[in-house]
């Protein structure tokens, strides 16, 4: 089977229950944002630009669990911000398990290994030694960390931890191979960390998925190479969705990066071109979502937006109308269902009811439409059934060639910052003062992966300026 049986049955019965009861609108996936703080500043991320990223602005644990109870979605995607920064993330996951939800932890991967070391420390017994030694030999855990795991006692042994479960997926953000991904997340080394985290998760028996946003710049062949590489790591599934031009992200892009958002985000037509091979990928790789949504992405049919089926709950309440646009926040899910004029949103027969919806084909608006049978066409139910209950695509065999294609950035000295560093070290750039920018320590609370984005922006601006001065002098 493509997806675990228990999980597929849970979701299918939820749909059937509501269809039988003729519930007009109901939740399929709750996008739960306990906080908006993040350790990265990805280009194109609307969240960290629209909301406060102050750690004080968090949804209390009880409120998160109450939101999941209220909307009764069988799946909860914990996102943010970076959810692993949420101080009660373990308790949140445990609480959602108790409620019987399917849980996705959408993470940028940077803190995943730390959380899995916490798990190891809590459950370690000498029986686990072969696994621990494998993690050390594959350099996923250092010898020092392994020793700390073996010798853990007290609070580390009683700590609530995130354990492997058939009801939970790590959902790691990966937007391309090394060079592209690190460029989009604006930090070198993140791709490598994500891969290490995925490898460690697989060894420990966690279900692991990835989510990818496709932008105008995304190269289709690279996407296929990325899926092949991830498949060779035996990743359990992939979400893929076109990027959407959040207002907040657009403004940020113009102001901070000096770029025209049109260079970055997709129109509907471009989305269809980028996703021309999505159905083929659906056969080759374990792509989450329905084949009906895949046909929509490939431009073979229209769907009507069902944003109410993937509601977002965050520090300001239930966000309407959708994950992407904010026209208001409501205190309750049912209140939001009642109050929002849903007929004013989405694209119907190619016509946008709201101009902001015009280029939107994102999964949180349209993937549920495929599962819920809006715009139903004969054979759709069978298609969805065959896709979900059909055989899982075989993993692509790991090879040196795939790995070589994947590590095409900082690992081989071709990172965007490495190139900037090289440019800065040129005598011309030194004259222009760029080296001092690079040498200055950032004031953000970023961690081990190096330079923060303020440095990067200043650095790249200086490199640019140095090039201009140089070309005038030539
Ligand atoms: S990892 Fe990137 S996309 Fe995700 S919340 Fe942080 S900045 Fe936004
Ligand atoms: S079409 Fe997209 S932007 Fe518009 S309401 Fe639906 S999900 Fe939101």
| Predicted confidence (pLDDT) per residue in 88-137, tens digit | 999 999 999 999 999 999 999 999 999 999 999 999 999 999 999 999 99
Q: Look at residue 396 and tell me if it is in a domain.
A: no
Question: 287 near 278, Cβ under 8 Å?
Answer: yes
Query: Coil, strand, or helix at residue 157?
Result: helix
Query: Coil, strand, or helix at residue 80?
Result: coil
Residue to substitute in 297, 360, 361, 363 for testing ligand 2 pocket (most ligand atoms within 8 angstroms of CB): 360
Q: Which helix (H) or strand (E) holds 239?
A: strand 237-242
Angle at 411 between CA 409 and CA 415, to 5 degrees: 35
Task: Count CB neighbours of 61 within 10 A.
Answer: 17
Q: Which atom of ligand 1 is nearest to the CA of 79?
A: 5
Q: Look at residue 135 and tell me if it is in a domain.
A: yes
Residues 385 and 437 in one domain: no
Q: Look at residue 232 and tell me if it is in a domain.
A: yes
Question: 237 near 288, Cβ under 8 Å?
Answer: yes
- Asked whether 48 lines ligand 1 (CB < 6 A), one says yes
- Asked whether 307 lines ligand 2 (CB < 6 A), one says yes
Question: 345 near 307, Cβ under 8 Å?
Answer: yes
Q: At what angle do helices 143-150 and 129-137 cross, to 10 degrees?
A: 160
Count structural domains, the chain.
Answer: 2
Residues 468 and 357 in one domain: no
**172 forms bridges with which residues in the sheet?**
107, 210
Task: Count CB neighbours of 411 within 10 A.
Answer: 19
What local confidence, expressed as pLDDT, does residue 464 receive? 56
- Asked whether 82 lines ligand 1 (CB < 6 A), one says yes
DSSP track, 301-339: ------GGGS-EEETTEEEEE-SS-EEEEES-HHHHHHH
pLDDT digits (tens, 9 = 90+) for 29-78: 999 999 999 999 887 787 888 887 787 899 999 999 999 999 999 999 99
Q: Look at residue 412 and tell me if it is in a domain.
A: no
Residues in the chain: 474
Angle at 287 between CA 282 and CA 291, to 5 degrees: 55
Give me the sign of the Cα torsion angle 420, 412, 194, 311.
Answer: positive
Q: Which atom of ligand 2 is nearest to the CA of 365?
A: 7
Per-position pLDDT tens, the chain of length 474: 777 888 888 988 999 999 999 999 999 999 999 999 999 988 778 788 888 778 789 999 999 999 999 999 999 999 989 999 999 999 999 999 999 999 999 999 999 999 999 999 999 999 999 999 999 999 999 999 999 999 999 999 999 999 999 999 999 999 999 999 998 898 999 999 999 999 999 999 999 999 999 988 789 999 999 999 999 999 999 999 998 766 666 666 666 666 666 666 788 889 999 999 999 999 999 999 889 999 999 999 999 999 999 999 999 999 999 998 999 999 999 999 999 999 999 988 778 899 889 889 999 999 998 888 888 888 888 888 888 888 899 999 999 999 999 999 999 988 877 766 666 665 555 544 444 444 433 333 343 334 444 445 555 555 555 545 544 444
* Boundaries of domain holding 449: 417-473
Residues 384 and 421 in one domain: no
Q: Look at residue 408 and tell me if it is in a domain.
A: no
Q: Are strands 317-321 and 75-78 parallel, antiparallel or unpaired?
A: unpaired
Interatomic CA distance for residues 455 and 461, integer angstroms: 10
Which residues neighbour 135 within 8 Å (Cβ) at sequence distance 6 or greater?
141, 146, 200, 203
Q: Of 353, 374, 389, which one is at a domain's C-terminal end?
A: 389
Interatomic CA distance for residues 13 and 28, integer angstroms: 11
Residues 380 and 446 in one domain: no
Residue to substitute in 46, 343, 362, 368 for testing ligand 2 pocket (most ligand atoms within 8 angstroms of CB): 362
Residues 461 and 357 in one domain: no
Pick the residue whose CA is nearest to atom 3 on ligand 1: 45
Q: At what angle do helices 380-389 and 363-372 cross, to 10 degrees?
A: 110
What local confidence, expressed as pLDDT, does residue 82 receive? 96
Q: At what angle do helices 416-424 and 453-473 cross, to 10 degrees?
A: 50
Which residues neighbour 189 within 8 Å (Cβ) at sequence distance 6 or greater?
182, 410, 449, 450
Q: Look at residue 284 and tell me if it is in a domain.
A: yes
Residues 441 and 380 in one domain: no
**76 forms bridges with which residues in the sheet?**
30, 103
Q: Look at residue 421 and tell me if it is in a domain.
A: yes
Residues 385 and 448 in one domain: no
Q: Using a CB cutoff of 8 Å and minimum separation of 24, what contacts does 183-186 make?
A: 183/43, 183/409, 183/416, 184/42, 184/43, 184/44, 184/215, 185/40, 185/42, 185/108, 186/40, 186/41, 186/42, 186/43, 186/453, 186/456
- Ligand number nearest to the C-alpha of 181: 1
Interatomic CA distance for residues 446 and 454, integer angstroms: 11
Q: Look at residue 270 and tell me if it is in a domain.
A: yes
Pick the residue whose CA is nearest to atom 1 on ligand 2: 346
- For the entire predicted model, the pTM comes to 0.87
Residues 330 and 442 in one domain: no
Residues 44 and 145 in one domain: yes
- What CA–CA distances, in Å, run from 272 to 123, 281, 313? 47, 14, 30
Interatomic CA distance for residues 4 and 14, integer angstroms: 16
- Asked whether 190 lines ligand 1 (CB < 6 A), one says no
Pick the residue whose CA is nearest to atom 4 on ligand 2: 357
Which residues neighbour 114 within 8 Å (Cβ) at sequence distance 6 or greater?
84
What local confidence, expressed as pLDDT, does residue 470 receive? 45
First to last CA, the chain: 64
Residues 80 and 162 in one domain: yes
Interatomic CA distance for residues 142 and 425, integer angstroms: 33
CATH number at residue 73: 3.20.20.70
């Amino acid at each position: 089977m493509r997806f675990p049986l228990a999980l597929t049955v849970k979701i299918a019965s939820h749909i059937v229950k509501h269809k039988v009861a003729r519930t007009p609108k109901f939740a399929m996936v709750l996008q739960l944002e306990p906080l908006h703080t993040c350790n990265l500043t990805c280009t194109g991320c609307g969240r960290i630009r629209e909301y406060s990223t102050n750690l004080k602005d968090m949804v209390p644990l009880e409120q998160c669990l109450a939101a999941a109870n209220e909307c009764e979605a069988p799946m909860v995607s914990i996102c943010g911000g970076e959810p692993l920064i949420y101080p009660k993330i373990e308790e949140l996951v445990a609480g959602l398990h108790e409620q019987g939800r399917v849980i996705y932890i959408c993470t940028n991967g940077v803190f995943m290994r730390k959380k899995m070391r916490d798990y190891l420390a809590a459950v370690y017994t000498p029986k686990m030694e072969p696994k621990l030694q494998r993690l050390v030999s594959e350099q996923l855990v250092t010898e020092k960390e392994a020793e700390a795991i073996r010798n853990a006692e007290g609070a580390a042994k009683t700590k609530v931890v995130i354990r492997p479960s058939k009801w939970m997926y790590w959902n790691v953000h990966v937007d391309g191979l090394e060079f592209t991904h690190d460029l989009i997340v604006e930090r070198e080394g993140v791709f490598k960390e994500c891969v290490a985290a995925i490898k460690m998760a697989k060894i420990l028996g966690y279900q692991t998925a990835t989510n990818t946003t496709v932008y105008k710049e995304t190269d289709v062949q690279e996407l296929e190479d990325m899926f092949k590489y991830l498949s060779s790591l035996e990743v359990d599934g992939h979400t893929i969705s076109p990027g959407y031009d959040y207002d907040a992200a657009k403004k940020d892009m113009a102001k901070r990066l000096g770029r025209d958002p049109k260079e970055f985000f997709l129109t509907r037509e471009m989305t269809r071109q980028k996703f021309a091979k999505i159905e083929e990928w659906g056969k080759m790789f374990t792509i989450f979502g329905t084949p009906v949504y895949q046909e929509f992405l490939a431009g073979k049919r229209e769907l009507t937006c069902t944003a109410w089926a993937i509601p977002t709950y965050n520090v300001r309440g239930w966000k309407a109308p959708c994950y992407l646009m904010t026209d208001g926040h409501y205190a309750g899910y049912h209140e939001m269902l009642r109050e929002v004029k849903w007929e004013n949103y989405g694209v119907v027969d190619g016509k946008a009811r709201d101009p902001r919806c015009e280029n939107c084909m994102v999964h949180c608006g349209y993937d549920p439409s495929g599962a819920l049978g809006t715009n139903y066409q004969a054979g759709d139910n069978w298609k969805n059934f065959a896709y979900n209950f059909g055989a899982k695509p075989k993993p692509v065999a790991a090879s040196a060639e795939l790995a070589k294609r994947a590590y095409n950035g900082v690992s081989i000295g071709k990172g965007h910052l490495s190139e900037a560093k090289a440019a800065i070290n040129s005598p011309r750039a030194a004259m222009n003062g760029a080296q001092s920018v690079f040498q200055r320590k950032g004031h953000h609370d970023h961690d081990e992966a190096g330079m923060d984005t303020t440095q990067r922006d200043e650095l790249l601006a200086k490199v640019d300026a140095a090039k201009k001065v140089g070309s005038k002098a030539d």
